[in-house]
Chain A
């Protein structure tokens, strides 16, 4: 028995001995943009060295709220957290501090303000639209591809037919992921309304009249065309994202609805095609078909319960990211993202973000609506999948959406 207890004690002591060593100010950072985790991890020691802090970057594939919830429950919050815009509204009133006194806040138009305080600052500008493979299109048509020429659905469809005639059997790929269908494509119909807030109020009251809504029909007309030319038409709800991105990269398809975040996958395909992003074509003349949808994205907030040194270290990091040449280089070149900060005039290295930046600089972004209810993606995503799979028609789609929206809990803001 004694021997046994000694053994246990030894194991215990051995395991306890390996406790983490605390160095300078700890700057723990949560990164919810998993595709740039490697870049962040490589930058952390460099930044730590330069700023005299101990920066550590973590990520999680769990839903942001789940992950943050466990950190709060264990009294171990991140000093600096990067989350989606919608999460800012539920997290910062209780857990965030005012960022108004940072240089970064003064340098951007995309900060999120809540109750007169700067609650969060964006890491990048992101936008969605139709991604195209310029090289593949030009190889078939033999003429220069200028996306602005295909802003209307009619013109776009003509081009698709031309591509089919030229040997590209199905020039379109559609992502079946619920977040892409619901939070990105379907969301656009709300975002294109003249007053999205007012329209959402109507929807919640059950008065959205979805089936007769001009924007809804216009976007679904385009979606129908995309579906018609979808390479995975026979099993649309099962298109594999990795495969679709690769097909776009290699020019097996020419178009796919998506956003600059898709670059992290496209780049893995190692093709040399020229790529870019264009607005979703629609038969309209109100200008919405000349804009991408997007804006500031991946928002940073600083935890209110950590020490003042830590808060200051986090603020310093935000200023570094926004205004320091090294920080700007990190965002624009290392992460290849469009910066939301005015002082950053660097060119971006990822072609999709080049498009995003061009549209943003020209003021051609339709704002994100960030207050969709928490279950919007899972529920409306399923509804959109049914439509994509041909299980329901447009009227049934509109009915299901009407049902969903009745009394839906929009995020408080």
Chain B
């Protein structure tokens, strides 16, 4: 009787899974559709893109690959790519370090400063960037004159992203890290600093991976802040460099836009695929230890 029920449940579960799989596939295609369009059209001439967006091969000018070298040359691809990598990697690492630490002290202590900074950080997530734009360039350009350094942008990126990262780490610490664990570490003679790095931080793996990918993406794609901070051409990042393909009046060089889009997306896509594996591993290893 018990076994029979089990078999039935298993069969039902199987059917549900097949239905879900189909639903997921349909949604997947819908989600991926714009990219399929981008990919197909990146290999077509502008006239074919504008007039035959669905054609796999352009009826007028045929299959072309010239959009890629053209786009790469016009945006000085390898130069801006290097800048983007330096900035994204440094800012992501700093964000992960600073916000995890900040979240730890803020979540575990009910001090005034902690509550204040946490409230400010939450509130700051809803500030329209336009409000800060002019003040930032006035202060850091006009008064301190530190614009046009990669470091300035890295620190600014970090400053902007610590609030959300702290918010996410704080949620993870609150729900996933048992207080008893920290108390045990304390009894074993760990300082708070050691407790954090040796006990807490390793358990935050999934959150770290999530924050890393989200922030890395944001830094990689950000246009507005880098365009304000880095005005010297040798310092340009990928999003600033791609601006050249957009006309200021609504007309653009779609072939190059799409080629540049694919070029800019690939590195971050690879990073995500690597990270995703880590997210899964992080969760399992955390579960085993916990």
Contacts and interface: CB of A to CB of B under 8 A. Distances in A.
Touch between chains A and B, by CB atoms below 8 Å: yes
Interface of A: 1, 4, 8, 11-12, 15-16, 18-20, 32-35, 37-38, 56, 58-62, 69-71, 73-76, 177, 179-180, 240-243, 245-247, 249-250, 261-262, 264-265, 268-271
B248 A34 contact: yes
B45 A76 contact: no
Contacts of A33: 248
Nearest to A176: B250
A8 B91 CA distance: 11
B137 A74 contact: yes
A11 B98 CA distance: 14
Given A15-B149, A37-B244, A179 B249 contact: yes
Interface SS, B side: helix
B244 A38 contact: yes
A261 B249 contact: yes
Contacts of B250: 177, 241
Contact of B233 (A34, A56, A246, A247): A56
A377 B61 CA distance: 37
Given A1-B193, A70-B133, A73-B138, A269 B46 contact: yes
Interface in B249-287: 249-255
Contacts of B46: 242, 246, 268-270
21 contacts: A11-B90, A15-B86, A15-B149, A15-B154, A16-B151, A19-B149, A35-B247, A38-B74, A58-B231, A61-B246, A73-B134, A73-B142, A75-B145, A76-B141, A76-B147, A76-B148, A180-B249, A241-B251, A243-B51, A262-B251, A265-B251
Contacts of A247: 51
A60 B148 CA distance: 16
B65 interface: no
B270 to A, nearest CB: 23
A59 B234 contact: no
B176 interface: no
B94 interface: yes
A34 B47 contact: no
Nearest to A67: B227
B90 A60 contact: no
B106 to A, nearest CB: 19
A261 to B, nearest CB: 7
A242 B252 contact: yes
B245 to A, nearest CB: 9
B45 A270 contact: yes
A15 B232 contact: no
Given A18-B150, A74-B137, A261-B249, A59 B243 contact: yes
Given A11-B94, A73-B138, A20 B248 contact: no
B235 interface: yes
Contacts of A265: 247, 251
Contacts of B247: 34-35, 264-265
B254 A242 contact: yes
A290 B140 CA distance: 54
A67 B145 CA distance: 18
Contact of B148 (A20, A250, A268): A20
Contacts of B154: 11, 15
A12 B246 contact: no
Chain A CB within 10 Å, residue with most, of B147, B148, B193, B232: B232
B50 interface: yes
Interface residues of B, number: 47
Interface in B146-170: 147-151, 154
B228 interface: yes
A32 B248 CA distance: 8
Given A59-B243, A246-B50, A270-B45, A74 B142 contact: yes
A1 B1 CA distance: 62
A87 to B, nearest CB: 13
Q: Which 9 A-B pairs have the closest CB atoms?
A: A74-B141, A15-B151, A74-B137, A268-B46, A246-B50, A269-B47, A73-B138, A265-B251, A75-B142
Nearest to B197: A4
Given A15-B90, A70-B228, A75-B142, 17 more contacts: A15-B86, A19-B149, A33-B248, A56-B232, A56-B233, A58-B231, A58-B233, A73-B141, A74-B141, A76-B148, A241-B251, A242-B254, A246-B47, A268-B46, A269-B47, A269-B50, A270-B46
A26 B229 CA distance: 19
A272 to B, nearest CB: 12
B50 A242 contact: yes
Interface string B116-134: 0000000000000000011
Given A59-B243, A177-B249, A261-B249, A73 B235 contact: no
A81 B60 CA distance: 40
A306 to B, nearest CB: 15
A180 B249 CA distance: 9
Interface string B19-61: 0000000000000000000000000011101110000000001
Contacts of A56: 232-233
B231 A270 contact: no
Nearest to A16: B151
A187 to B, nearest CB: 15
Contact of A61 (B90, B234, B243): B243
A54 to B, nearest CB: 11
B196 to A, nearest CB: 11
A61 B257 CA distance: 14
B286 to A, nearest CB: 23
Contacts of A270: 45-47, 61
Contacts of A11: 90, 93-94, 154
Contacts of A249: 47
B11 to A, nearest CB: 51
Contacts of B255: 268
Contacts of B244: 34, 37-38, 59
Contacts of A73: 134, 137-138, 141-142
Contacts of B86: 15
A242 B49 CA distance: 9
A34 B232 CA distance: 17
